[in-house]
Amino acid sequence: MTFALSTLAGELATIESDAVGRLSSAGSPEEVRAISAEAVGKRSPLAALNQKLGGLAAEERKVAGAQIQAARSRIMDAAAGVLESLSALERARRDATEHLDLTEVLATASRGSINLVNQTRDRLEDTFVGMGFAVAEGPEVETDWHNFGALNFPPGHPARDNFDTLYLDYGEPGTTLLRTHTSPVQVRLMQSQPPPIYAVMPGRCYRKDTPDARHIPGFSQIEGLVIDRGITFGDLAGTIDTFTHAYFGPKIGSRLRPAYFPFTEPSAEFEITCTICEGKGCRTCSGTGWIELGGCGMVHPAVFEACGIDPELWSGFAFGFGIDRLAQMRHEIADMRVLLDNDLRFITQF
């Protein structure tokens, strides 16, 4: 066997370009491994050339051996490169078929969340619906008669002064206003449907208050009204207590204390176990273990009469409380004004 150093470089170049060409069109890692075994393995033309080295003089053998070795490593490098790009392709294919679209998740997240007050309102509605109540709504712009007159506030009665009313420049002066509480929805309900009535009425109310930690001029209340035959004060107390447990959990109870409202007789304020200290006494409840939540009482006969319901046949109770207050208590929010601020650091917590 002859072996000429002069032709070796040309032979090696042919072998190399043949191998690299086949490698570059390989479609799988198996193919790459087969091609490189053929090109550099025991039966490869490179191995055959290596065997011929023995016929060369020592000096030439060294040069030729180095050239063969260099060609061999270039082919191996090419194989490694092809393997690398095949596995990148495979990764891309898997990403495309088994993908989790993170932009989809982001799009949902940036749609935001429901405002804390509305979340609280939704939960309250759910709780009362679970107790058998219907949900009703009334207008935010009200007549003086619905907001006060039908609720047994006589004109000029001092109780009206407790409601810093915002009157609208519409109709006779003092006849149209932004409702100061949700109680006028009781009147609308009684006028629009015969008893029995079991309903809660959530919604926004307005008072001429200067905003501070515990007051905002636009706030939300939820009103309750039950009218049926033989409803007693015991039913009122039981309903408030059942609601309190259902909404706050078994550790929070309720109690009633005498109060005055023109549209209920007797009237009461209802208090719940302080949610912060669970009744032990803390700063929030001024050490009493109780927090006032809202007002309630037996529907006054004058209200029944204003709404065309016979107080001899029907009796009932009503209650009302602030939704923002409730959210404030439940989440220990020091200052109510953050509910209006649209500060993302606050909003995104809920």
Contact residues: ligand DAH, CB under 6 A: 181, 183, 223, 261, 264, 294-297, 318-320
Closest separation in Å from C-beta 236 to ligand DAH: 9
The verdict on whether omega for the bond into residue 158 sits within 30 degrees of 0, i.e. cis, is no
From the CB of 111, what's the least distance to ligand DAH, in Å? 34
Name the residue nearer to ligand DAH (CB basis): 177 or 296.
296
CB of 283 vs ligand DAH, minimal distance in Å: 25
The smaller minimum CB distance to ligand DAH, of residues 264 and 275, is found at 264
Smallest distance, ligand DAH to C-beta of residue 120, A: 17
Nearest distance in Å: CB 96, ligand DAH: 59
141 CB-contact burial (10 Å; exposed 0-12 / middle 13-18 / buried 19+): exposed
Provide the token pair at 85.
Answer: 């790009």
CB-closest chain residue to ligand DAH: 295
| Structural contact between residues 137 and 225, judged by C-beta atoms closer than 8 angstroms | no
Altogether, the residues listed in the chain come to a count of 350
Question: Which one, 14 or 242, has the nearer CB to ligand DAH?
Answer: 242
Closer residue to ligand DAH in complex, CB, 40/236: 236
Q: Which is nearer to ligand DAH, 44 or 221 (CB)?
A: 221
In the complex with ligand DAH, which residue's Cβ is closer, 203 or 320?
Answer: 320
Output 31 or 292, the one with its CB closest to ligand DAH: 292
For residue 110, the minimal CB distance to ligand DAH (Å) is 37
Q: Residues 340, 324: contact at Cβ < 8 Å?
A: no
DSSP result, 133-200: -EE----SEEEHHHHTGGGT--TT-GGGGGS---B-SSSSTTSEEE-SSSTHHHHHHHHHSPSPEEEE
Looking at beta carbons only, is 128 or 261 nearer to ligand DAH?
A: 261
Q: Integer distance in angstroms from the first to the last C-alpha of the chain? A: 86
For the packed helices 116-130 and 233-248, what is the interaxial angle rounded to 10 degrees? 130
| 183, 203 contact by CB (below 8 A) | no
Q: Is 202 helix (H, G, I), strand (E, B) or coil?
A: strand
For residue 261, the minimal CB distance to ligand DAH (Å) is: 4
Between strands 290-299 and 315-322, the pairing is: antiparallel
Q: How far is CA 238 from CA 91, 241, 255, 270, 289, in A?
A: 64, 5, 10, 12, 20
Closest separation in Å from C-beta 239 to ligand DAH: 12
Burial 146-168 (b: 16+ CB within 10 A, else e): bbbebbbbeeeeeebeebebeee
Identity of the residue, 20 or 290, whose beta carbon is nearer to ligand DAH in the bound complex: 290
Q: Which two tokens stand for residue 35?
A: 């091609």
Do the beta carbons of residue 45 and residue 15 sit within 8 Å? Answer: yes
Q: List alpha helices for 307-343, DSSP H.
A: 323-330, 338-341
What's the closest the beta carbon of residue 207 comes to ligand DAH, in angstroms? 9
From the CB of 305, what's the least distance to ligand DAH, in Å? 17
* For ligand DAH, the closer CB: 26 or 294: 294
Do the beta carbons of residue 265 and residue 300 sit within 8 Å?
A: yes
